[in-house]
Structure 1
């Protein structure tokens, strides 16, 4: 059966997003991998001490923690998630992601519509 006619797609070679902060981002489905603008799914590892600037994304973001802990500052509220917990942050919500903890945090991020640098609206 040709790839176009298949009812499923197995992703064996996710797009590895180049970073300068030690974070590992492997996009399995989304804009960079298969051109899908409706949803993106990425496997991430945020090292100890990692953080991003505040941002106000134009997409809903779902995060599921596999191991470690991740800190979220959401509209002024500080939330810490641990392994087995998940969160949905609605689009157009100001948020900052970080890992101020001693161990790396491994997690899955799902963005709907798909993550795009043009839609994340990071602050300087």
Structure 2
């Protein structure tokens, strides 16, 4: 048995907000204790506030992304990264005029059951 897995066909998560989510490892693709996803958030995109039950690491490849974490507004640009600890109330958005391309890593793996999005 090989001690590696190559991901050639990530799972494309269906969305209705124009965001591209390609999960390479996680619960919807190659099963893993963490999830790794390549994402592109379109210009003017946002999500509701949430309080995830997982740590999330984000690395910005292109563009900018805004995070409102526990009342603090943080804007990251290409080459910057952030770790957001589980239990933090957060809103992700791209209020800018250009798409934002980034990688997201969640531990434990991303699950809608663990996101706790607000209505």
Partner residue, 1:16: 12
Q: TM-score when scaled to structure 2?
A: 0.99
Matches within 5 A, 1:4-83: 5-36=1-32, 38-83=33-78
* Alignment-derived partner of residue 83 in structure 2: 88
Could you tell me which runs of 5 or more consecutive residues in structure 2 were left unpaired when the two chains were aligned. Answer: none
Residue deviations 1:60-96 (CA, integer Å, cap 9, x gap): 0000000000000000000000000000000000000
* Partner-residue secondary structure (3-state), 1:53: coil
- Listed as ranges, the gaps of 5+ residues in structure 1 are none
Which of 104, 114, 117 matches 1:119?
114
Higher-strand-fraction structure: 2
Aligned length: 119
4+ runs deviating over 3 angstroms: none
Specify the SS of the correspondent of 1:32.
Answer: coil
Whichever structure has more helix as a proportion of its residues is 1
Residues in 1 aligned to 2:63 and 2:104: alpha-carbon distance in whole angstroms: 15
TM-score (norm. length: structure 1): 0.95
Whichever of the two has the greater Rg, that structure is: 1
